[in-house]
């Protein structure tokens, strides 16, 4: 009787051990990437007198891309690129890159980041509508598409002083993750340059 009761128990223990091995198996490796590093130094206006102070509101990203996953789109189908993630949420990386671009390139405005408790004369609101790699077919080389709507509001009235939608399309050099990430980086920098120039021209 004792022996017969031990055998099922041993079998159950062995089954649990196998299940435990499956649960503890090594996950597929994930490489992390970033985009929009420090902008190249330019004719920055930081510290100059007479600058228009502009408050940057937190940039809004679509739910599908606000995290650390990289979105690919083929027609009506979407999927995240396997084995690759942003090192931080895309919204955080983009905010950092935009603030760097203003610090390096703006000539007529001083950007006030969300963490600064300073009331400016204008508010810059940016709503990112698309941040994705688009494919015409499963094995095609994708094009990174970034679309953002920017609005300048007067403060404290919060009336719209200027508004524009920007779209940047940057083909990747190849259908490889590193090439796609490079295209995102180029597209983000291009978008930032356009937004800085537009803000400089319309904040007065």
For every residue of 84-110, DSSP letters joined together read EEESS-HHHHHHHHHHHHHHHH-SSEE
Q: How many CB atoms lie within 10 A of CB 43?
A: 8
**Cα 172 to Cα 175: distance, rounded to the nearest angstrom:** 7
Query: Closest by alpha carbon to 125, among 36, 46, 55?
Result: 55
Q: Supply the pLDDT for residue 46.
A: 54
Element (H, E) at 145: strand 143-154
Q: 145 CB contacts (<8 Å, ≥6 apart)?
A: 130, 131, 132, 133, 134, 167, 168, 169, 187
Element (H, E) at 161: strand 160-171
pTM: 0.81
Give me the tens of pLDDT residue by residue for the chain, a chain 204 residues long.
434 443 444 444 444 344 444 445 455 678 999 998 765 555 555 556 678 999 999 999 999 999 999 999 999 999 999 999 999 999 999 999 999 999 999 999 999 987 777 788 899 999 999 999 999 988 899 999 999 999 999 988 889 999 999 999 999 999 999 999 999 999 999 999 999 999 999 987
Q: Supply the pLDDT for residue 79.
A: 96
**Cα 131 to Cα 128: distance, rounded to the nearest angstrom:** 7
Query: Closest by alpha carbon to 113, among 128, 99, 97?
Result: 99
**Cα 17 to Cα 134: distance, rounded to the nearest angstrom:** 44
Write the burial class of residue 111 (CB in 10 Å: 0-12 exposed, 13-18 middle, 19+ buried): buried
Q: Supply the pLDDT for residue 7.
A: 44
SS3 126: strand
CA dist 101 to 10, 122, 136, 180, Å?
64, 18, 32, 22
**Cα 85 to Cα 69: distance, rounded to the nearest angstrom:** 5
Element (H, E) at 3: helix 2-23
What are the beta bridge partners of residue 77?
74
Q: Supply the pLDDT for residue 138.
A: 82
């Amino acid at each position: 009787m004792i022996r017969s009761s031990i055998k099922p128990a041993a079998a159950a223990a062995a089954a649990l051990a196998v299940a435990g091995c499956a649960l503890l198996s090594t996950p597929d490796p994930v490489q992390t990437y970033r985009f929009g590093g420090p902008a190249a130094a330019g004719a920055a206006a930081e510290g100059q007198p007479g600058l228009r102070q502009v408050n940057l509101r937190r940039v809004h990203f679509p739910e599908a891309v606000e995290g650390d996953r990289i979105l690919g789109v083929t027609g009506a189908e979407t999927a995240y690129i396997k084995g690759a993630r942003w090192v931080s949420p895309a919204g955080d990386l983009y905010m950092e890159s935009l603030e760097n671009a203003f610090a390096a390139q703006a000539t007529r405005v001083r950007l006030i980041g969300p963490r600064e408790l300073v009331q400016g004369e204008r508010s810059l609101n940016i709503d990112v509508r698309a941040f994705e790699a688009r494919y015409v077919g499963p094995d095609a080389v994708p094009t990174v598409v970034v679309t953002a709507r920017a609005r300048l509001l007067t403060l404290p009235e919060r009336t719209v002083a200027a508004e524009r939608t920007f779209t940047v399309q940057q083909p990747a050099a190849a259908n490889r993750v590193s090439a796609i990430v490079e295209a995102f980086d180029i597209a983000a920098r291009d978008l930032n340059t356009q937004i800085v120039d537009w803000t400089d021209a319309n904040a007065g």
